[in-house]
Structure 1
Amino acid sequence: MRNYIPPECLQLIFDNIENDRISLHSCLLVNRTWCYNTIGILWKQPFHLLYACNKNSSIKRNLQATNLLEVYISCLIQLYKSILVEKSIVSQFIKPPMFNYVQYLKFLDLYELYMAIYDYKDPKINGKVSRFPLTPKFNSVSRRRIPINQQQLDNSTHWVTSEDCMLVLNFFFRENLFDLGSSINNDEYRWLGMLMCKFFLEHSRSIDKLSIDAKSGFSIYTLANQNFILNRKYLNVDDCLIIPYCLDSSNCLSKLTKLVCTTRYRKANFLLSIANICHCIKTLIVRVDCDITYSWPLPLLPTSRNGEHESVAKLIKSQRGLVHLELQYCSSGLGNIMSALKTQVHSLRILHFTEIDLSYILNYLTPLTNLDTLKFQKCYSTRADFSLDLMINLSKLSALHFDEDPIPLKIVEIIIDACSFNLRSINLGRLLYTPDLDGSINMNTIGFVASRFHNLTFFKTNIDSKEQIPQVIELFKTCSYLETVILCQVENSDKSLSVYETNNMLETLGKNGLPTTLRCFALKGKQWTFTCVSLGIFLGHHDVSKRKSPVFELDLTGGSSCFTNFHLDAILNANRHRKVVKKVLLSSNMLLSSEMMAKAGELIKLVNPESDKVVCNH
């Protein structure tokens, strides 16, 4: 009896390697059963695999983008084969593709689509002419009809070639078979992008995830000679905002579960059309600050800036169970959007704000009692007269994260006070301490967290005062389930700890004993200075009589220059009796002797402090 794996099991296996393009391609070639179960996963997000999961050189990626688009063009040829054969553009003996690859498309990122078109059309990469035969520009092909040499083909079937794709695109572009707009018909990049997007939305079974995101934020425009120069590669993404309401895409988008729309182009009409079509969105990431300068030279839609937040509110209300909302840069109409969240109180679990005025959203958090994660990034407060008696209940919240931008302490205290013992992860960020009415400053936030949330597993904060050191020590005593602790110091700050204060903190933590659950301890920032003796006490004073002791990763990638060969020797000495440190992450700019690096072996991992990318392992 031969071994047999049911297709249902194969699907579960292949789902775990959906971002591994090489492994999926290998599974594709095993047998027919594996092929049928792999093809849908491999082609549900091909552009994502090409760019987000691809570390190949730009020249090789250029060839891969060409091959990918030509596969889709071959599917397009089959739809119009009768017309193309009649016009002698292609041979009637062209083979159809092995699969209808378009029907497997589930995730459409328009930025990645246009990047593929850019690579497909551009014959030069990094100033070097590619050695691969790329499709030239459409206009380089003669406008006369090119007959097929039947004798040369010997009336035999053959696959679609690069030349066939070039001739077909030239014919479509010249004859204007697709009404994509007069302004778009004069631009080959935009025309091909709109054609492919229209083709995907009309012939895909269903799109689960749709992303209209330029990825580069404000780098859509580059400043040169005091004038904004348009970068076409990014702005073309915005053309497809008119797609949902210029064709019948209700069948394709009706099961949309994730929508990312962070372009600065006017998108009120687009969001309204999505609200009428899609009612199953679980994840919504949207930016609400359209800019008229980002709309040139595209045709402006008859909507105003004030209508954008109304479209977002209607989109939220139209969903049956929104789970994750990320709201970015909403400068007007914030109350309208927050009021719409009342319709999602039973399903909403994750709420993420980016550059939002916190003082205007606190009142709207009252009905959101089922939140699990609350994040604030680059947020601020323009008011100081908000009430401290808000009836906010975040008892089910398990993760609360502030970023490194200063946040008024009063707002942080209001939100923390609304949390319960269910809180597992907290990032206090950089607290902005302000004097009370009597002139005193309360700096006991870390101590309050330590006394209330004993089940914490993740903790991160900025340390900018010696008064916070006893609170950190108390945190390690009371929170026995800590797994990750990240302590930061702001660069170029006059409130950084002295070497004596840091030594005192490390030695006390080591003598008191570290939590056995600790997996990562990080000191981020160039301001950290400590001696090798204190580091040795921090690592060496664990109870050897205990069966369990913490084995954790020591992260010193903030760029501190105090780490020397003596510090590394202290780590090696701590590991002699019992392994305490499993990995040390150091900045690549630290000067360590090659002898010590060789002695440490695989214990050391060098990381670029600017990008947090691994440079090499030793």
Structure 2
Amino acid sequence: MASLPSQCLLKIFENVSLSIYKTLHNCIFVNKQWSSLAISILWRNPLENISSENDVDDRIISIMKTYIACISQKSKDSLMKNNLQLSEEILRQASYDYPSHLQILNVQKFYDGITILIEKYFHKEDREKAFHQYQLLEHIFRMFMNKCRNIYRIDISDVPKLIKIIHFPLLPDSDKCLSNITEFYYKGRKHLDFIYILSQVCTQIKSFHIEQQFHNNEGLIKLFNVQKVPLESLSIDFKSNITLFIEDIIKEKNPDNIIKLKLSGDSKIFFLKFNNLKELEINLCYDNYFLRAIFPKLEKLILHGFSNISNFAFCDFLKNHNIKYLYLRESHIKYLRQFSEAIINSCPNLVEYEGYISANTRTNHLLVLFKNCPKLEKLRFFEEDTSCEINDILKCLSDYIPKKLNTLRFDPCWEFNDVSLDEFLNGCKKRLTNKLNLEISSSRRSQDINLVLDKYARENVLYEECINYY
């Protein structure tokens, strides 16, 4: 590993889950090459990757102290003159340029981080908090504008209306720092002055994530209109049935450029043609306008919270599209048998599916799914209304298991015994090209079931660490 080129090592490190913070952090102490690469990943988005551990505040304080150590000596002197006593640790110039790796500028997380630092490290009283918070943030943002050239996302979605955002797009070198922003996250109708200022610098935004839009928003209109690149991804939450500016802007900017679209609420936006749309996510779209539309290149469909969807219309929609990735979440299906038939008969190229399937022995839709969709790699089934015994089905499936299947979640309502599970996993042993990540409800776990699972884990059919119980 030590002799691998840096680009190869970087790819390996990038595949280490950031939830395993200590694993990647330990790479810093191997050698200079590993240290540099690990730091470049850990500091891309350090405040976003903190989990809810017991030491979360200590981690945040450590990160913020490191950032302050990286600001200029002039900034440190200014803070000291304003009665903020910096420790020797912070006064020493940082040995590494940590801020240069920042990629996501989540404004609220920096406000929160500074607040924790002031309260628990500097121990300032309430009347001093706001002043020192603003001082510290201004100097940190000034440093970002000067040093950061890899920031691609600005997120102000969670900044409360009462908080005044520092107008960092007006700081020196902001044009160099923010000119490559391609993603923007925003919520509600607040901080319009900041958005106007941002529109003077950011003209390369390809992806907008907008929430809680009740009315037209002049600041957003300005930001949308100044963009010099095609709009490729749009996520917007409509809170009103009025036609909003965004629909008109999409018409002007050519919807054929959009490849990813996420909508919540009702919109007539589907009356437009999206000829290059590849990913569509819908949440609580009561009128189901999307079922009447055709997207020639659509591959991925995610549906949330639908219950009144027409099985016939949904079946027609699936037949008219080459869906490879289908996810059905937080929904209630009235006619599960017909719904299952729509999926298994209309999606022969399905690669991933999360949702519902009728496991009735008489119809055996699970078997038909395996036969009709040989390209399946991930299957995660969710709860039916009633328990269902699937021993005979499991035995039938063993000869038709898709060869590339790598993830399988059993519906917690399915009942099976160790004999049928053993036969099914023996089929997996014969057919699968990779190990299987198997998810089984704890309610179905028995001593005999555990013995079967352990057996096939030892035989490298199952990931031993991935026999998950939920």
TM-score in terms of structure 1 length:
0.61
Classify 1:605/1:444 alpha carbon distance in 2 versus 1 (closer, same or farther; 3 Å).
closer
Q: 1:518 is paired with a residue of what secondary structure?
A: coil
Q: Partner residue of 2:314?
A: 412
In structure 2, list runs of 5 or more residues that go unmatched.
none
Q: Deviations over 1:319-351 (max 9, x none)?
A: 303332222354355553234234153432222
Give the Cα–Cα distance (whole angstroms) in 2 for the partners of residues 416 and 270 of structure 1.
43
1:454 aligned onto 2:348? yes
1:47 aligned onto 2:47? yes
Aligned residues, how many?
Answer: 456
Give the Cα–Cα distance (whole angstroms) in 1 for the partners of residues 254 and 236 of structure 2.
15
Q: Partner residue of 1:71?
A: 69
Residue 211 of structure 1, aligned match among 146, 155, 158: 155
CA contact (8 A) 1:532 1:567 kept: yes
CA contact (8 A) 2:327 2:353 kept: yes
Q: CA deviation at 1:582?
A: 0.5
Q: CA deviation at 1:476?
A: 0.8
How do 1:384-423 and structure 2 match up within 5 A?
A: 390=292, 392-403=293-304, 405-406=306-307, 408-409=309-310, 412-413=314-315, 415-420=317-322, 423=323
Name the aligned partner's letter for residue 10 of structure 1.
S
Q: CA deviation at 1:460?
A: 2.1
How do 1:350-499 and structure 2 match up within 5 A?
A: 350-353=260-263, 355-357=264-266, 360-364=268-272, 367-376=273-282, 378-381=283-286, 383=287, 390=292, 392-403=293-304, 405-406=306-307, 408-409=309-310, 412-413=314-315, 415-420=317-322, 423-429=323-329, 443-463=337-357, 466=360, 469-490=363-384, 495-499=385-389
The CA RMSD over aligned residues, in Å, is 4.4
Q: CA deviation at 1:521?
A: 1.6
Give the Cα–Cα distance (whole angstroms) in 1 for the partners of residues 34 and 417 of structure 2.
58
Q: Partner residue of 1:256?
A: 181
Give the Cα–Cα distance (whole angstroms) in 2 for the partners of residues 345 and 479 of structure 1.
31
Classify 1:535/1:403 alpha carbon distance in 2 versus 1 (closer, same or farther; 3 Å).
farther
Q: Partner residue of 1:323?
A: 232
Give the Cα–Cα distance (whole angstroms) in 1 for the partners of residues 36 and 425 of structure 2.
53
Residue 436 of structure 2, aligned match among 529, 552, 566: 552
In structure 1, list runs of 5 or more residues that go unmatched.
124-133, 141-172, 174-185, 215-233, 290-304, 435-440, 584-601, 610-618
Residue 336 of structure 1, aligned match among 245, 256, 281: 245
Classify 1:552/1:104 alpha carbon distance in 2 versus 1 (closer, same or farther; 3 Å).
closer
Q: Identity over the aligned pairs, expressed in percent?
A: 17
Give the Cα–Cα distance (whole angstroms) in 2 for the partners of residues 513 and 86 of structure 1.
72
Classify 1:270/1:507 alpha carbon distance in 2 versus 1 (closer, same or farther; 3 Å).
farther
Residue 421 of structure 2, aligned match among 519, 535, 544: 535
Classify 1:336/1:567 alpha carbon distance in 2 versus 1 (closer, same or farther; 3 Å).
same
Q: Deviations over 1:121-154 (max 9, x none)?
A: 233xxxxxxxxxx3231789xxxxxxxxxxxxxx
Classify 1:345/1:513 alpha carbon distance in 2 versus 1 (closer, same or farther; 3 Å).
same
Q: 1:286 is paired with a residue of what secondary structure?
A: strand
Give the Cα–Cα distance (whole angstroms) in 2 for the partners of residues 116 and 272 of structure 1.
26
Q: Partner residue of 1:135?
A: 122
Classify 1:543/1:287 alpha carbon distance in 2 versus 1 (closer, same or farther; 3 Å).
closer
Classify 1:139/1:69 alpha carbon distance in 2 versus 1 (closer, same or farther; 3 Å).
farther
TM-score in terms of structure 2 length:
0.77
CA contact (8 A) 1:485 1:521 kept: yes
Give the Cα–Cα distance (whole angstroms) in 1 for the partners of residues 360 and 36 of structure 2.
63
Classify 1:105/1:448 alpha carbon distance in 2 versus 1 (closer, same or farther; 3 Å).
closer
1:288 aligned onto 2:215? no
The structure with more radius of gyration: 1
Q: CA deviation at 1:76?
A: 4.2
Q: Partner residue of 1:17?
A: 13
Classify 1:399/1:85 alpha carbon distance in 2 versus 1 (closer, same or farther; 3 Å).
closer
CA contact (8 A) 2:350 2:373 kept: yes
Give the Cα–Cα distance (whole angstroms) in 1 for the partners of residues 99 and 108 of structure 2.
18
Give the Cα–Cα distance (whole angstroms) in 2 for the partners of residues 121 and 83 of structure 1.
13
How do 1:157-306 and structure 2 match up within 5 A?
A: 187-188=130-131, 190-192=133-135, 194-196=137-139, 198-200=141-143, 202-206=145-149, 207-214=151-158, 235=160, 238-240=163-165, 243=167, 249-262=174-187, 264=188, 266-289=190-213, 306=215
Q: Partner residue of 1:565?
A: 447
Name the aligned partner's letter for residue 448 of structure 1.
A
CA contact (8 A) 2:337 2:358 kept: no
Classify 1:387/1:326 alpha carbon distance in 2 versus 1 (closer, same or farther; 3 Å).
closer
